[in-house]
Amino acid sequence: MSSGAGTHRKKRVLAVASGGGHWEQMQMLRDAFEGCDVAYMTTMHGLGGNSGLVAVSVVPDCNREHPVRAAWAAVRIAVKIAWLRPDVIVSTGAMPGLIAIAIGRVFGARTVWIDSIANAEEFSMSGAQAHRHADLWLSQWQSVASATGAEYAGSVL
């Protein structure tokens, strides 16, 4: 980093999404990261290459039913966050994204949770927990946002 006047470092963004629909929704947000230094994290090998991305980390998929796997994922996520030092962490879900935003807050990152469009009636379990860790907590459904106190800014679809 240079300290010269007029020079600015690109914002470092870590975009975290489990495979499947979570990943697809994150890919729809790629234009929002224009001008940033973006690293991606997901739970499935090959997704980055399929999306034309190079900087993609793969972490173990996890859920509350497998606490040892969740702990291992948390360690891997924490190491990556400590190494990347992102300014912002954005997640479209699921549990690995929740872990990333919780750990990211400890490292001083701003955090954004965007609950999946699939959750039209209520927040996902991880999404409901994300409220405590996210600086910006979003639902893609206005009715869910209104009922929960989340923010609504439209959907990615």
* Cβ atoms of residues 95 and 64 within 8 Å: yes
Residue 81 domain flag: yes
Residue 6 domain flag: no
pTM summary value: 0.93
Sequence letter at residue 120:
A
CATH number of the domain to which 122 belongs: 3.40.50.2000
What are 127-150's pLDDT values in tens digits?
999 999 999 999 999 999 999 999
- Main-chain phi, psi angles of 51, to 5 degrees: -95, 5
Residue 116 domain flag: yes
Domain span at 16: 12-152
What are 18-39's pLDDT values in tens digits?
999 999 999 999 999 999 999 9
Domain total of the chain: 1
Query: What pLDDT score does 137 carry?
Result: 98
Residue 108 domain flag: yes
